[in-house]
Structure 1
């Protein structure tokens, strides 16, 4: 913006100088040809300056709000008012839940590591920020600024964000932007312009580039998660394995578990049966067992629901961690992990 304005100002000044020189200096054939060539080149530069597309200035940090630092209060007032003028909506988790199947793009602007850890099913990751790359003077100074505050994984604006998000927003139905907190455009007790967030900043950049029908998830991904909405995370495979283990224990009631019926990762082979204990086992869960294999216990019986679906679920005795206590008779697998009928060496039944 400033470059274009300065070029236009220079063009006007040159036109004034040209007019004054032409009026006071007689032209010769040689000087006329030279001045004509100079004038043609100057006119081409001025025309290019006036016809070039105007792109928003990014500033040194990669984001710029009318020459202001994007995190400053003055910049946030401009951002907030612009988003209101452009009718940017704050969408609740409930609204988004019923929008998922309507082909509205969900764009998660959080860093890739956070997106991989957990995200809304069907969302696309276009990070607004990325880890600092390169070792030029500006990036070294940025790293030092982060390190001064004890942050050693500093970030910078993702240079591909602007093109990627513009290409991902559907021109007919728009898009929903997601960050961790979401922010708000409603006046708060401490700020009449609302609360700033990365998704609102991303929405500002999008509407500045011409995007329309942009929405922001109110409360962000954290509120989506707290409200019990479905999401995908890196523990999905572990939960799937735990579900298969629950199914194995449920099917073990009344019949042994065969090696062929087990998932491949749990087909551990046969083990010799151990001698039966001399004392009857009543409540076989104990604090000692919790100390031996806490991860196995939480994985195998991590739900508070009774795996048999019986009415005794609410009355069942639980250990200090809230996990249900079972007997070998209920599981019908002898002495837990030390029998040939049980494929697991978890020792959770002792």
Structure 2
């Protein structure tokens, strides 16, 4: 078990959710099963992918990360599987491709839900055969990779509406890791802050301290829609004009963050309370509530079952 703030697994926190995640990751890392990491934007999906790689037997091999949303459809096959010189206009030299680069290690496909339908079909074939053929070549080669995919989309909903292949979804959804949002584990805010403040202090040779109790209380009541990434952004913005004292207060924060911590409408509520409030505000219109919570329909129904709110809020 890693201690809170131990950078070896890239996870920082003391909450039961993070402790459970660390324990599970240690087991997942020792297998070679395909992993699907899900969670809201900013929850640390790539950190988890790195942890799976670094904690397992492939740690000495390459870790190759690909953002599927950033690759134009016309270049996806070449980017993933490589190409031969002259295969298309602009192919002035051979390119091995990301699968070949990850041979013996881990390939991380981020934002897998953004991949086009043709790309999904090609990816499925490679995952089934574990062979790639570069664009412009008739020869195929075996690849030995551990695949980790990530998404902040509800792939189940996408399968239902036929925008994501069901066969690829089941090929990816072997080991499922769902990352909890930061608002559900406020006890992790201080360890994460310690980590990011420590990084900035070392880079800038400063000695900025922790938030004072009043500011920390406000941070713990805030919803953090951007999750850990938003918390990191706060620290980076704070160090643009670093506070001079050892304790950081609300007045030391940039104006945008001061407003967030004083004006956020749902501060102090847990997920169940926020959901119940939104349901009342929308007169129990589930589709409207899902939009307000920024959830898919399927996520809403899972949360209703989890919090026993399917038939209305208990008296």
Which TM-score bucket, shorter chain as reference?
under 0.3
Q: Report 1 or 2 for greater relative contact order, CA contacts < 8 Å, sequence distance ≥ 6.
A: 2
Could you state the TM-score of these two structures normalised by the residue count of structure 1?
0.25
Could you state the TM-score of these two structures normalised by the residue count of structure 2?
0.27
**Which is greater in Rg?**
1
